[in-house]
Structure 1
């Protein structure tokens, strides 16, 4: 099965190809045609299953058929639980929409930052990715309108509810037009999620993607216990003392990738960032230099790095842990290919320890945690 078999236009399929996405995941094969047909969809799927693209691609397809939005009325709303996920989803939108003939304006809005710059940029937004609290803030200030909303996506519904956003979600739903398409994704089917499904969805297509038991190849893995403020110095020490070259470093956000890249370059380690905020030309050039061995460090986000395929990549570093064990396995699986040796290194804070244990349990392999306090750097 190919993306071209799912009802997507040639232009969007071309954009998918340029984003280095090859074959669709199972959830995309089921969800994309249904969403294109304007059906409600319920997806039970873990992070790393490909669910984000499964709703972003058909939404982008539908927007291509619409006139340019010149108002503050939002046609597509995606609700997510955290600012990190909001930024990641918006990055996916930009990666896929870069080559589409009808330009798509997307925005991620969340709390913890000033609301005024967000309000100034909202006009003409086609797809708004928002956390519940900030969305209600914008509505209270009449900065946006949901009167003409055609598609609602609620991603990671279980986490949205577990974080205590039930009242906010109820308030948001009360402001939406009744005639709309609803798409809901959740990793679990808790009672609270089941109640929301009954309230929200009408005759939905139900997709249940079982998580895979995946064991990584025999890659040399190590992990360092380190405080957040000492992560950068430790990484620089490891690269310089080990004389590492061709190091692929993963961060969880575009901002973290840019900040880390700047600090590496400032300290004499040649690095380039690789993420959805970079132009296609910029990403292509960075990848060309990295593959050719003239660039020492490539700092990437998970979404942009999906298309990186280097047969003899010696080092992968998790500067920040991914959100799911499957993403961790995908990351470290980029090294140790084609019979060559590979090394995967993770930098773990105290706050990360429990999550790292979950990842190791999923891998069925334990990784020694080295105390970086005993290393002089």
Structure 2
């Protein structure tokens, strides 16, 4: 469906055309008109389905008639679970603000970097994209005020409303005005999320696009069964023989991510590791280079399992399995995005087999199995 029928302004349609957005995805087709009408929205749609543009475009239009003019009092608050996602969502806002009659200033704030530049930068900000901890620090410092927020967005809402963020989110909700538009977007709808949304949302428009397990049908999943000590050589064998130019590798810890990346580099493969213990500058720069194709292999933890959009990423490899089936789906959902094909490979050691069976059962899909005992890994 074309964007021209969704109620967007000619100026925004011009920016969409310049950015090569040719058609609206299902989540955008449903969410944009609902948000333009001022409805609360609960959007459940798979990774890579265009959720971010689905709320950014109508929000920017709605803001034109109700911008808060008091300095450091923001109009739109978007809360996200990770620094990387904060940067990415803000980039989408900044892409489309040029199509507005009235200027709108957006900014991303997150921890791991100095708070002082962020405090200064919040002058005149209308749209704030924030991680919970840094947002509360800025509120306590009186660098930003939430009393005039008109629209609240929770991106990756299932993550934002679980126990890990519960206390911080409750503190944020207490600072917001009771009357506001609420938009919650998530790839999955858990029982916990369903119960919480009944409190947060007022007569919401519920949009549920194709379940993630069906979206994953366009991803070619393969499991290589391998002895633990042969995982590293097999990883290097696959990267070299398949000649992938861009590979995202997931491990279970930052320590393992560093070790895997170091071994790749020693074997002539351009690689970088990023995880929560790396500085924000290192993480941002490595992700930028990987997206640009300047780094062949990015090794990471579940830090990048959610929300990060790497266009046309051909392959994701689970060097180690995640703890939950849901995280497995989020991981492999980094490839096969926006209708592009993708390949997801898991390296399964004997100790992983039982857990992998559980993942497949929860996913509702069996993964093709490849034995590797006969693969000659000498030299890799």
Instruction: Give the structure-2-normalised TM-score.
Output: 0.65
1:329 aligns with 2:336: yes
**C-alpha deviation, 1:58, in angstroms:** 0.7
SS in 2 for 1:89: helix
Residues 114, 357 of structure 1: alpha-carbon distance in 2 compared, 3 angstrom cutoff: farther
Residues 220, 42 of structure 1: alpha-carbon distance in 2 compared, 3 angstrom cutoff: closer
Aligned to 1:143: 143
**5+ long unaligned stretches in structure 1:** 253-259, 270-276, 279-285, 309-314, 336-343
**C-alpha deviation, 1:103, in angstroms:** 4.8
Aligned to 2:314: 316
Supply the distance in 2 between the matched residues of 1:319 and 1:68 (Cα, whole angstroms): 45
Aligned to 1:47: 47
Supply the distance in 1 between the matched residues of 2:295 and 2:132 (Cα, whole angstroms): 41
Supply the distance in 2 between the matched residues of 1:59 and 1:36 (Cα, whole angstroms): 7
Give CA deviations for 1:120-165 in whole Å, capped at 9, x if unaligned: 2222222211122221111111110112211111222221222432
Aligned to 2:189: 188
Supply the distance in 2 between the matched residues of 1:42 and 1:243 (Cα, whole angstroms): 41
SS in 1 for 2:335: helix
- Higher mean C-alpha displacement, 137-146 vs 110-119: 110-119
Contact in 2 for aligned 1:42/1:204 (Cα 8 Å)? yes
Residues 238, 217 of structure 1: alpha-carbon distance in 2 compared, 3 angstrom cutoff: same
**C-alpha deviation, 1:21, in angstroms:** 2.3
- Higher mean C-alpha displacement, 128-137 vs 366-375: 366-375
**5+ long unaligned stretches in structure 2:** 251-260, 271-283, 286-291, 299-303, 319-327
Indicate the RMSD between aligned Cα atoms, in angstroms.
4.9
SS in 1 for 2:91: helix
**C-alpha deviation, 1:210, in angstroms:** 3.5
**C-alpha deviation, 1:366, in angstroms:** 2.9
Residues 20, 142 of structure 1: alpha-carbon distance in 2 compared, 3 angstrom cutoff: same
How many residue pairs end up in the alignment?
Answer: 330
**C-alpha deviation, 1:7, in angstroms:** 0.4
Aligned to 2:169: 169
SS in 1 for 2:314: strand
Aligned to 2:254: none
Contact in 2 for aligned 1:250/1:319 (Cα 8 Å)? yes
Aligned to 1:107: 107
Instruction: Give the structure-1-normalised TM-score.
Output: 0.66
Supply the distance in 2 between the matched residues of 1:243 and 1:193 (Cα, whole angstroms): 40
